[in-house]
């Protein structure tokens, strides 16, 4: 450790680290726009400049290493004036539509303008660049006019996700972020994960909102409007209402959904249990009958599109199981519609998902019956929070309620789907029972938990040793797929989540990139699994009843018809 002086106070820093890193650890805030935690610094935006005694110019703290005895001023007059000028120059070519912007009140540029006292336009270019809003994607809206060229979306797409669907285009004042050949996102290599939205500091990237369609359906008296909520929603929604991360609001969220007008509220964790029954059975069948191994999970739609585009030779390795969202959508308009004597055409099925790619998934032609989509609209966690606020509801003051049956009972294994490693842990618990006829003595699999991008384990199931891997983030997925292709790894089962950390950090979650918030969401899911009694999917009585009454058995004829699908190669303009 070395000693440096910051704003007149002595603090300790690690040798070789950047000034920004040392400041953050000491709780000293310096504004940034282009900095991406965990990736090499670019120093492009210059918002984090500080004044160092003995240096003639201001220095970007994100890229300048510390040195023994350094004397730093983070908010000297020169530093403040420099930051203010940067913001003013950014605003010179920025739209004045804050009132209509999706990020109004939650915009980093807006916050910096407030913080630095920018109250008038001092700089104006001769002619503003004219850009068109890209509405082509089913998941993401791109408005280049609001882009400040911080580059974070480009970096997360290329360096974290390994997709590279967007990049800097043009030179000088004509530079902008765009797709190959300036085509729409819908024909690019974009996999709809929404991680670009999570890092965008302005309204240049937002989700395609389905609030209007949902409102219209709720107002239509001829429609039976139902809604399902994904496992990770209840542990992240409260953050949108100012509650600290790591609080589960499942019961009051259900009450809010009923008050919004949804006639029936279902828990997608129920079909997470159903997914495990089908997926574990499929794994056992492949192992026993020489099927394509390793089998890879199929519940993350961004990952599915990634394989279809970049690794079509691995399509046979994907599980044929639909995602929990898609399974419940299919059951609502078949089994449940029959049971309730409701015409499926009169059902409007809504989902609340942590993932913008779920909007893309809902529109896949494979996920429909008789030309009727299984899912009619998808809301992100952010959209649900907006919808609740729109109706003046306060989550903290509502009485608790529970989801409707038959799709309201779930195990904690189903709830674990929200975190990276949860699908694998749930599947192993049930696969062990299917192979040996007995439950595992210790069902908590520590090696599969946590935030590591690639986790590996060998699990003993009877006489069989099953090699498994858990991957989150598509950059990590690429490494694993390449290792498998080269014969360096020999897995039986691989779980892949598109977003680093899993659904708790999905592209539709609260815009909070703090790793501690994501850890808190993961912790509450594991606390549920520790404290509740129904912890294995195959023990769920509602799942057993569904098979007895309707589906027959896992991998049976009706199960294949409703709960399984297929995928094919996609061509993109790259």
Residue 6 is part of which domain span?
2-75
Check if 115 is active-site.
no
Annotated catalytic, 503? Answer: yes
Q: Is residue 568 part of a domain?
A: no
Q: Which of 361, 383, 425, 495 is catalytic?
A: 361
- In percent, how much of the chain has pLDDT > 70? 99
* Choice among 239, 240, 278, 282 that is catalytic: 282
pLDDT class of 124 with cuts at 50, 70, 90: confident
| Residues 398, 512 within the same domain | yes
Whether 88 is a known active-site residue: answer no
Q: Return the beta strands (E) in 374-499 as ranges.
A: 377-380, 454-461, 464-472, 493-497
366 is catalytic: yes
Please name every residue paired with 495 in a beta bridge, in sequence order, or none if there are none. 470
Predicted local confidence at residue 130, as pLDDT: 84
Domain boundary at 35, 50, 75, which?
A: 75
**Residue 370: per-residue pLDDT:** 87
- pLDDT reading at 513 higher than 80: no
Task: Beginning with the edge strand found earlier in the chain, give each strand of the sheet holding 49-52 in spatial order.
Answer: 9-13, 2-6, 71-73, 49-52, 59-60
Catalytic annotation, pick one of 278, 279, 308, 383: 279
Instruction: Choose the final residue of a domain: 153, 179, 207.
Output: 207
Task: Tell me the C-alpha to C-alpha distance, in Å, between residue 384 and each of 145, 229, 340, 381.
Answer: 27, 10, 27, 5
**Which residues does 197 contact at the CB level (< 8 Å), separation at least 6?**
140, 205, 206, 207, 356, 507, 511
The catalytic residue among 495, 503, 537, 559 is 503
Given a contact cutoff of 8 angstroms between Cβ atoms, the answer to whether 176 and 129 are in contact is yes
- If you ran DSSP here, which 8-state letter would residue 103 be given? T
C-alpha closest to that of 160 among 480, 502, 479, 475: 475
- Interatomic CA distance for residues 474 and 194, integer angstroms: 13
With the CA atoms of 542, 324, 378 and 502 taken in that order, what torsion angle do they form, in degrees rounded to the nearest 10? 120
Active-site residue identified among 146, 305, 358, 455: 358
Average pLDDT over residues 315-319: 98
pLDDT at 418 over 80: yes
Whether residues 555 and 459 share a domain: the answer is yes
Number of domains in the chain: 3
CATH code where residue 34 lies: 3.10.20.740
In the set 299, 321, 355, 499, the catalytic residue is 299
Q: Is 299 a catalytic residue?
A: yes
- Residue 80: inside a domain, yes or no? no
* 174 included as an active-site residue: no
Within a domain: 574:
no
- The answer to whether residue 334 is catalytic is no
Considering the entire predicted model, what is its pTM? Answer: 0.94
Contacts (Cβ under 8 Å, ≥6 apart) of 446: none
The tens digit of pLDDT for each residue in 195-232 reads: 999 999 999 999 999 999 999 999 999 999 999 999 99
512 pLDDT band, cuts 50/70/90, is: confident
Helix-helix angle 301-310:474-485, to 10 degrees: 50
Say if residues 215 and 505 touch (Cβ distance below 8 Å): no
203 lies in the same domain as 216: no
- Annotated catalytic residue: which of 21, 188, 319, 537? 319
Q: What would the mean pLDDT of 544-571 be, rounded to a whole number?
A: 95
Using the 8-state DSSP alphabet, how is residue 564 labeled? B
In percent, the amount of the chain with pLDDT more than 90 equals: 93
Residue 84 lies in a domain: no
Residue 335's contacts (CB-CB under 8 Å, 6 or more residues apart) are 546, 550, 562
Q: How confident is the model at residue 574 (pLDDT cuts 50, 70, 90)?
A: very low
Q: List Cβ neighbours of 57 (8 Å cut-off, separation of 6 or more).
A: none
Catalytic residue (one of 53, 114, 338, 366)? 366
- Residue 455 sits in a domain whose CATH number is 3.40.50.1780
Same domain? 230 vs 296: yes
Q: Is the pLDDT of residue 523 over 90?
A: yes
Q: CA geometry: angle at 379 spanning 375 and 385, to 5°? A: 150
319 catalytic? Reply is yes
Please list, residue by residue across 128-138, b when 16 or more beta carbons sit within 10 angstroms of its beta carbon and e when fewer do.
eeebeebebbb
């Amino acid at each position: 450790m070395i000693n440096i002086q910051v704003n007149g106070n002595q603090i300790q820093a690690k040798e070789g680290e950047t000034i920004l890193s040392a400041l953050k650890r000491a709780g000293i805030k310096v504004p940034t726009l282009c900095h991406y935690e965990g990736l090499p610094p670019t120093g492009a935006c210059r918002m984090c400049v500080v004044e160092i005694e003995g240096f003639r110019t201001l220095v970007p703290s994100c890229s300048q290493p510390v040195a023994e005895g350094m004397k730093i001023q983070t908010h000297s007059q020169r530093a403040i004036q420099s930051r203010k000028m940067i913001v003013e120059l950014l605003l010179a070519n920025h739209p004045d539509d804050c009132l209509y912007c999706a990020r109004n009140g939650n915009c980093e540029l807006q916050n910096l303008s407030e913080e630095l006292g920018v109250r008038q336009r001092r700089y104006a270019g001769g002619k503003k660049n004219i850009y068109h809003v890209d509405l082509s994607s089913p998941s993401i809206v791109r408005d280049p006019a609001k882009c400040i060229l911080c580059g974070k979306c480009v970096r997360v797409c290329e360096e974290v996700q390994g997709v590279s669907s967007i990049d800097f285009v043009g030179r000088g004042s004509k530079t902008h972020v765009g797709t190959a050949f300036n085509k729409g996102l819908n024909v690019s290599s974009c996999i709809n994960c929404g991680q670009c939205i999570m890092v965008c500091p302005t309204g240049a990237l937002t989700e395609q909102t389905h609030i209007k369609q949902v409102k219209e359906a709720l107002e239509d008296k001829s429609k039976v409007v139902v809604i399902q909520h994904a496992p990770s929603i209840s542990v992240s929604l409260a953050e949108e209402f100012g509650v600290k991360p790591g609080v589960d609001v499942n019961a009051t969220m259900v009450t809010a959904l009923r008050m919004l007008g949804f006639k029936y509220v279902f828990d997608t964790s129920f079909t997470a249990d159903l997914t495990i029954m089908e997926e574990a059975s499929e794994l056992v069948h492949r192992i026993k009958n020489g099927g394509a191994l390793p089998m890879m999970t199929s519940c993350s739609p961004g990952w599915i599109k990634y394989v279809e585009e970049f690794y079509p030779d691995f399509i046979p390795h994907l599980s044929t199981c639909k995602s929990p969202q898609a399974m419940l959508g299919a059951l609502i308009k078949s089994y449940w519609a029959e049971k309730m004597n409701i015409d499926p055409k009169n059902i409007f099925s809504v989902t609340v998902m942590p993932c913008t790619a779920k909007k893309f998934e809902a529109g896949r032609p494979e996920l429909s019956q008789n030309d009727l989509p299984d899912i009619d609209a998808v809301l992100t966690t952010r959209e649900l929070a907006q919808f609740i606020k729109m109706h003046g509801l306060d989550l903290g003051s509502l009485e608790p309620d529970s989801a409707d049956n038959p799709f309201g009972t779930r195990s904690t294994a189903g709830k674990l789907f929200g975190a990276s490693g949860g699908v694998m842990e749930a599947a192993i618990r049930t696969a062990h029972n299917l192979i040996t006829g007995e439950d595992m003595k210790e069902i908590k699999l520590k090696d599969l938990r946590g935030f590591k991008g690639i986790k590996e384990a060998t699990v003993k199931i009877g006489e069989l040793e099953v090699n498994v891997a858990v991957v989150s983030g598509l950059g990590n997925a690429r490494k694993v797929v390449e290792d498998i292709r080269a014969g360096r790894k020999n897995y039986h089962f691989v779980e892949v989540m598109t977003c680093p950390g899993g659904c708790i950090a999905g592209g539709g979650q609260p815009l909070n990139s703090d790793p501690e918030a994501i850890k808190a969401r993961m912790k509450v899911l594991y606390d549920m699994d520790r404290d509740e009694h129904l912890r294995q999917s195959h023990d769920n009585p509602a799942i057993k009843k569904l098979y007895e009454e309707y589906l027959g058995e896992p991998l049976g004829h009706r199960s294949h018809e409703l709960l399984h699908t297929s995928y094919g190669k996609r061509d993109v303009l790259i």
